[in-house]
Amino acid sequence: MVKGSFRTRGTTVRLLAAASGGYLLGMIGSADIAARLNRRSDLRMSGTGNPGAMNASHVLGRSWGAAVTVADIGKGVAAARLGRALAGDAGANLASTAAVGGHCFPLGRTGGKGVATSIGQVIGTFPVYLPLDAAVALTTSALPLKQRTRTATTVASITWVLTAAHWWWHGWRNPGGVKPTVSLPLAAAASSTIIALRFAAEAETVDAFNRQLSGHQDPDQTEQAPSDGATDRDRTRH
Per residue in 129-173, pLDDT (tens digit) is: 999 999 998 988 777 766 777 788 899 999 999 999 999 999 999
CA dihedral 200, 50, 188, 82 (to 10 degrees): -150
- In this structure, are residues 94 and 15 in contact, taking their beta carbons and an 8 Å threshold? yes
Cβ atoms of residues 72 and 66 within 8 Å: no
CB-based contacts of 129, cutoff 8 Å, min separation 6: 122, 160, 163, 164
CA distance 54 to 68: 9
pLDDT for 54 beyond 80: yes
Around 87, how many Cα atoms within 13 Å sit in the side-chain half-sphere?
A: 27
| pTM (global) more than 0.85 | no
Task: Give the three-state DSSP class for 111.
Answer: coil
Q: What are phi and psi of 12, to 5 degrees?
A: -60, -45
Strand, coil or helix: 69:
helix
Is residue 223 a contact partner of residue 229, using CB atoms and an 8 Å limit?
yes
Average per-residue pLDDT for the chain: 84
Q: How far apart are CA 60 and CA 55, in angstroms?
A: 8
Taking Cα atoms as reference points, which of 209, 177, 210 lies closest to residue 96? 177
Render pLDDT for 97-133 as a digit per residue (tens, 0 to 9).
999 999 999 999 889 999 999 999 999 999 999 999 9
Residue 48 has a pLDDT of 78
